[in-house]
Structure 1
Amino acid sequence: MNTQSFAAGFHGLHDETAVEELPVKGTLPDWLEGSLLRNGPARYDAGERSLRHWFDGQAMLHRFTIDGGRVSYANRFLDTAAHRAVESGTIAYPEFATDPCRSLFARFFTRFSRRPSVNANVNITRFGDRFVALTETPIPVAFDRDTLATAGVVGYEDGLSGQLTTAHPHQDPSTGDLVNYLLHFSRTSEYRVYRQKATGTGRELIGSRRIARPSYMHSFAITGRYAVLAEFPLVVNPLSIVLSGRPFIENYRWEPERGTRFTVMDLRDGSVCGAYEGPAFFAFHHINAFDDGDDIVLDICSYEDASVIDALYLDRLRAGDAIPFALPTRYRIGLGTGDVEVRRLSEESLELPRIAYDRHNGVDYRYAYGVGARDRSGDDFLNQLVKVDVTTGRTLKWSEDGCYPGEPVFVSAPTAAPGAEGEDDGVVLSVVLDSAAGSSFLLVLDARTFEVLARADVPHAIPFGFHGLFTRHTS
């Protein structure tokens, strides 16, 4: 693998900047006005030490604001205790795959006093009028949309507890409430699914399920009636997190003989409808899910196993080791029969998936967008954008030599027809690394045709990030 082509995506970006107007090539749609907010890691080095994994980098926020055909840009670190420590040359908080204590002696004295990291580097969502950055610890960090200034940790006004959550809360298609789950570690651990009113910070428990060895789940699914937890056979003995001295994720073990268990919980009363057994696989991201009669249809970016986690350690990425890729896969769960049917939606690799979320989250849909790889040998990084018709398997792709796109965010045109007819009437926005130029650009594609409408060039390379959202000026 020629790592020089995408190496800049894993280098740190330490400068905060604001550019009033980026050079734009092409023509932006007249209706496209608002801000694309992005989140992801941007600082990996702390003095003589380095954070170990892509997921460990310190969070930086990016904002592309589109107004009257012009595009401005700004970036800013999330101002947290974790980042301030790294900036000063110290790794003071445990991260996904980095332990702050290098010696057994140090581990002994800090084992029971470790505080969770507030490095919210994964996603962005809204709590009412507030914008918050999220990670897998339940410590959201609020920030100002217009200045990107950190406003502080958001406290919850309830008694729910848990050490882990997902950075991918879902909006209930029926009520608009945010739904997520907490994992509470204990001798017998517990998944706790909760709802949070869109305008508040109080959480209300929907239901729970006890589990001896919890699964690592980065996301989950929601339909009009159910929450679905895909419990992959990457599991942990909670005591090992406390006693082993290993970084968080290195305590999990891949046990494929367990298969994957789909736990289905009714959103109305919290009752567990069943735990349905499927084949062993691993995933970071769900694409979408919906009810279909007595079945639940669950679309996921699936890997054969959990080796992708090891492949994303920085030393392996920088050395050019092969990277496994996910394939979009449909799991149909028969609530009455107990059967789990599996069908590949496309042979094109797909990760960081997005849909027309506002209209089609939790209901039947047709189109998914994501990043993929032109060559599935693993000899390059994610280097193309893909649109998949989940009904027919037909795909559209965008790529340019030496270019590495990030998560594609779909933005619906205000004149889009309701229902399926207008599902892909809009644009797709992606932040792309141009390795030849040593810089990045905002790419705007016609979502229906995947033709390039415009691009806005940034004066530096933006490190590879994870997730974000588009917010209109009127919202």
Structure 2
Amino acid sequence: MSIVAAGSAVSHTLGFADQTEEVHVDALAVSGEVPTWLHGGLVRVTPAQMDFEKRSVSHWFDGMAMLNRFGFSGDGSVSYGSRFLDTNARREALASGGTSINGFATDPCRSLFQRVQSVFNQDITDNANVNLSRVGDEYIAMTETPIPVRFDPETLETLGHDEGAKKYGQISTAHPHHDPEHGELINFAAHLGRKSVYKIYARATATESRTLATMAVREPSYMHSFALTERYVVLLENPLVVNPLKLALGAKSFINNYVWKPELGMRIHAFDRKTGALARSWKTDAFFVFHTINAYEDGDALVVDLCAYDDASIIGLLELDRLRTNADAYGPQARPLRLTLGVDGGVDTRALADVDLELPRINYRANNGKPYRYVYGGSTGDAAFLKRLVKVDVSDGSHQVWDEPGAWAGEPVFVPRPGATEEDDGVVLSVVLDTDAGTSFLLVLDAQSFTEVARARAPHHIPFGFHGQFFSA
């Protein structure tokens, strides 16, 4: 299948093409000056293999996970390495020619018995292609199942599975939150069964965990992320829900069993982090959210910022064939919204800025769960896909933009300067596809001025991915 649009120029659809080469380069060509205080590695996970001998995956979210690392030694040089996660999912996909793939929107041919077994006995994918984090001394790659894959953050070697959270349910998020006070990683899972339950849990290490709160649910919602404040865990139930029995017995792939029910509205629940009690709930008009931005307490009210779509149609618009063959067919844009949740149950909604924004990042260590001023994200700017980077000042809605012809920028990762006292004192790192060159480069922006200070060119194109983290040396 061609991934290049008609005409002489390479299309951004190159970002959805396979990249199966594993490489290591000690020093990339660098233009500009990389700050010498930057010491560690930006590690990103991308769906890098979509095509197999007998078939391709159906959805961008189902590509096989590859780790990419840009290393910073503190002398201004930048190294690069890439390596596939050695997962059961990829080994089986290679052996079967792709017919075994069981993912978000790609389903293998299975008997009814195998389908029921896969849902209720947790025979679920370990293709951890969404996000990265750390629990205790372990580094983990994650997808929306509670069996992360451990890896070495320098060599990118796969070290095995982390099964410490598997007992909480079959569906989880790849967006856990760090609790620096207790040194724990907080997440939630949906346990599917005759009586389904949401379970919020905290993990101090790969083997130490505790349940924070539970909530019975008849039709579990698809929730990609959640929010955290100093006192509360905040779940946002999209009105995209599933009947667990139909999920087990139906003939559809995982996400295609979910049904959009706008009459349910967006339901929001705040759980007390100390007692586990449901403190309060709210309901507002229906919309769909992948990513929360931040949340904090304002007196008795809760403030939750997020990236909102009008509905869940964005999921179908990210099917692989559509992304590869129609260069102009991305679809709806996410709007940065602020929800102010009142003690009386009221919900006040307003736009944070007049710009579309996805893949949001903040100064997480300093401001997660607290009042903040700046969010960085990807934006289409009315292009066919996420192309440019934006920095939004949520205090007044103003924003700054980085954009360049032929460049398609990925998620911006903020790294604070050591000793910084200003919220935006640091750099923003993004992996950018250069369609003119047919390769990718690491972009380093000064976070305050939002202007380029350096770039380092990778030896090949890096497929579009979702999330990554900077791990300090």
TM-score class, shorter: over 0.9
CA contact (8 A) 1:406 1:432 kept: yes
**Gap regions ≥5 residues in structure 1:** none
CA 1:262–1:109: 2 relative to 1, 3 Å: closer
SS in 1 for 2:15: helix
Partner residue in 2 for 1:146:
154
- Give the superposed CA RMSD: 1.5
Q: Does 1:111 align with 2:115?
A: yes
**1:448 — aligned with what?**
448
Give 1:11's aligned amino acid.
A
Name the amino acid aligned to 1:441.
Answer: F
* Counterpart mapping for 1:61-210 below 5 A: 61-67=67-73, 68-88=75-95, 89-101=97-109, 106-114=110-118, 115-156=123-164, 160-172=167-179, 174-197=181-204, 199-210=205-216
Q: Does 1:395 align with 2:399?
A: yes
Q: What secondary structure sits across from 1:64 in the alignment?
A: strand
Give distance in 2, aligned partners of 1:177 and 1:185.
Answer: 25
1:2 positional shift: 5.7
- Paired with 2:313 and 2:5, the residues of 1 have a C-alpha distance of 21
Kindly provide the CA deviation profile for residues 148-200 of structure 1, in whole angstroms up to 9, marking residues without a partner as x.
110000121x8843001100100125433211101001223111011111x44
Deviations 1:298-331 (A, max 9, x none): 0001101101000000111123224211011001
Q: How is 1:312-461 mapped onto 2 (pairs within 5 angstroms)?
A: 312-320=318-326, 321-334=329-342, 336-375=343-382, 379-417=383-421, 422-461=422-461
Alpha-carbon distance in structure 2 between the residues aligned to 1:133 and 1:173: 20
> Structure 2 counterpart of 1:433, which letter?
L
Partner of 1:221: 227
What letter is aligned with 1:57? G
Question: Offset at 1:35?
Answer: 0.4
Kindly report which structure 2 residues correspond to 1:9-48, keeping only aligned pairs within 5 A, or say none. Answer: 9-48=15-54
Contact kept in structure 2, 1:135 and 1:166, CA below 8 Å: yes
User: How far, CA to CA, are the matches of 2:101 and 2:273 in structure 1?
Assistant: 35
- Aligned partners of 2:397 and 2:126: how far apart in 1? 40
1:231 aligns with 2:237: yes
1:96-152 Cα shifts (integer Å, max 9, x gaps): 000011xxxx43352233320110111110112211101100001101111111000
Percentage identity across paired residues of the two chains? 50
Q: CA deviation at 1:201?
A: 2.9
Contact 1:297–1:330 (8 Å) recurs in 2:
yes
Asked if residue 471 in structure 1 is aligned to residue 471 in structure 2, the reply is yes
Is the CA contact (8 Å cut-off) linking 2:125 and 2:145 kept in structure 1?
Answer: yes
TM-score, with structure 1 as normaliser: 0.94
Equivalence for 1:52: 58
Other structure's SS at 2:117 match: coil
For residues 30 and 349 of structure 2, the distance between their equivalents in structure 1, rounded to whole angstroms, comes to 44
Between 3-12 and 256-265, the greater mean CA deviation after superposition? 3-12
Q: Deviations over 1:357-396 (max 9, x none)?
A: 0100100100000000111xxx511110000001110101
- For 1:144 and 1:235, locate their aligned partners in 2 and report how far apart those are by CA, in whole Å: 36
Q: Which SS does the other structure have where 1:111 is aligned?
A: helix
Residues 47 and 63, structure 2, Cα contact 8 Å, conserved in 1 = yes
Aligned equivalents of 1:109 and 1:343: distance in 2?
Answer: 48
Say if 1:174 and 1:224, in contact at 8 Å, map to a contact too: no
Structure 2: give runs of 5+ residues left out of the alignment: none
Tell me, in whole angstroms, the C-alpha distance in 2 between the residues paired with 1:173 and 1:342: 30
User: Which segment is superposed worse, 321-330 or 390-399?
Assistant: 321-330
Q: Aligned equivalents of 1:49 and 1:99: distance in 2?
A: 12
Structure 1 residues 453, 79: closer, same or farther in 2, change over 3 A? same
Aligned partners of 2:452, 2:22: CA distance in 1, in Å?
29
Which residue in 1 is equivalent to 2:462? 462
Partner Cα distance (1:124, 1:322) in 2: 25
Cα distance in 1 between the residues matched to 2:5 and 2:207 = 46
Number of matched pairs: 459
Q: Take 2:111 and 2:322, find their aligned partners in 1: how far apart are those partners? A: 26
Query: Quick one: which amino acid aligns to residue 319 of structure 1?
Result: T
Determine the C-alpha separation between the residues in 2 that align with 1:201 and 1:367.
Answer: 36
Q: Structure 1 residue 63: deviation in Å?
A: 0.6
